[in-house]
Amino acid sequence: MSSRSRHGKSLALLMALVTAMATVLTAAATPATAAPGRPFTNPIKSVKGADPWLEYYQGNYYLVTTSWTSELTMRKSPTLAGLATAPSVQVWADSTPSRCCNMWAPELRFANGRWYLYYVAGPTGTDYVRNQRSHVLESVGGDPMGPYAYKNKLFDPAGDVGLIDPSVLELNGSRYLMASAWTSTQNLVIARMSNPYTVTGAFSTISTPTLSWERQSGAVNEGPEPLQRNGRTFIIYSASFCAGPDYKLGQLTYNGGDPLSASSWVKRSTPVFQRNDANGVYGPGHNGFFTSPDGTESWIVYHGNDSVSDGCDNNRTTRAQRFTWNADGTPNFGTPVRLGVTLDGPAGETAATPAAYTVVNRNSGKCMEVTGGSTADGANIAQRTCTGAAAQRWRFEDLANDTSRLVNAATGKVADVANCDTADGADIRQWSWLNNGCQRFRIVSTAEGGWVRLVNVNSGKVAEVVGCGTADGADVRQRTWQNNICQQWQLRPV
């Protein structure tokens, strides 16, 4: 064999080796994309679904929306699909006259080991322009479900004017509060913050509704939400009035310089997300963003209406869908998806979508059960060692007024305070649904770690294991809240 032949074979072998190594290195450098998540259909919240904010944190999604009342409720699920039937847990209620009512636009942010829940509230009545203000709560611990404590009112030191839809932007090492301010029009404003709950300077205006598509049914810029990727910053905001079908999303792009200056932001001349008559989606807007569990997908959550005549009320439902990115680095939200279409959930979901929940007592560690799985009206509810039996499984069905009914999976009947009694010690049993306050409960966040109290709407008293018993068969009855662990429960998905 000639030296030239030997050299050629050696070169070919070397090239093959280099190619193989490059292939291995490329494969190692390219993250594997997880399989699609659990199938879901929109809406992911069919009651009180306006102004949604969705956060994915440590294996669960957390969803909070506008209530229009004096309470804020939150849902938690390991899958996006599961949010549709997850319990609505009250994480905040307030009776302070200046901020008791009309709670809107809640938004979660995590900082310094605490969750901050931003929201809008005002006094009773409907004079929203003059009276609605922005506020912030702080979690007692590190649980997104709370409990929470009131932290601060957020306002312009130069003048306490109507300020709604607060959101936080972190840019160039600083924190800013963005919001919508009411003047003759609704404008987007921004101010510097010294911490997650304090505004330190005057607000400056960075966008006003000057384009025709921002002035349909009303001249509105509101709901500013930051969207950041690959060093670029966008503000996606809602435009036009929510009472009409042409509520939609617009986009500002940060162009460098001082974020407090309007000249640092460039407004796109056309909307980026709007009604889709062919799909029966009207007024899509007031959105948030989240990333799939595996970190590979970008998702938008928003509210929409089913009819051209729907408006700014609790008929708006929460929807979610994946979006992509254009070659120039800008977001491409596509078009709103029709309700009822089955979609792949976010990539990286590994848990099953919950079908029901067990209700576990904090003191005993045992499960609330319809005794013996009886289907009779009046069958007793007691605690028993958790076995996963259908008689220990409950569905928490949202009744659209910040209350729920507890439906037993085995019997289809609901938890009920016997004879609508309001006394301590009244029995909690099952009964056919009668749609009364004795069968309605508020699920109230009580302690970090997901512990709640089950508050009967009629009596105002809570479900308790009698005598703090730990034995199988210990009865569940109602009693005045005493903040003990016999009155605390955890809702565990099954």
The residues carrying an active-site annotation are 51, 222
Q: Which residues contact 8 (CB under 8 A, 6 or more apart)?
A: none
Q: How many angstroms separate the CA atoms of 421 and 423, rounded?
A: 6
The answer to whether 180 touches 189, Cβ cutoff 8 Å, is yes
From residue 38, alpha-carbon distances to 332, 342, 348, 395 in Å are 23, 10, 9, 20
Q: How many angstroms separate the CA atoms of 281 and 287, rounded?
A: 15
Beta partners for residue 416, in sequence order: 429
The answer to whether 27 touches 303, Cβ cutoff 8 Å, is no
Q: How many angstroms separate the CA atoms of 238 and 262, rounded?
A: 17
Name residue 487's amino acid. Answer: Q
The answer to whether 188 touches 224, Cβ cutoff 8 Å, is yes
Which tokens in the block code for residue 132?
């609605």
The answer to whether 361 touches 465, Cβ cutoff 8 Å, is yes
Q: How many angstroms separate the CA atoms of 242 and 315, rounded?
A: 12
Beta partners for residue 443, in sequence order: 89, 454
Q: How many angstroms separate the CA atoms of 314 and 37, rounded?
A: 29
Cα angle at 326 between 322 and 327, to 5 degrees?
Answer: 145
Which tokens in the block code for residue 20?
């193989």
Half-sphere exposure of 351 (CA within 13 A, CB side): 16
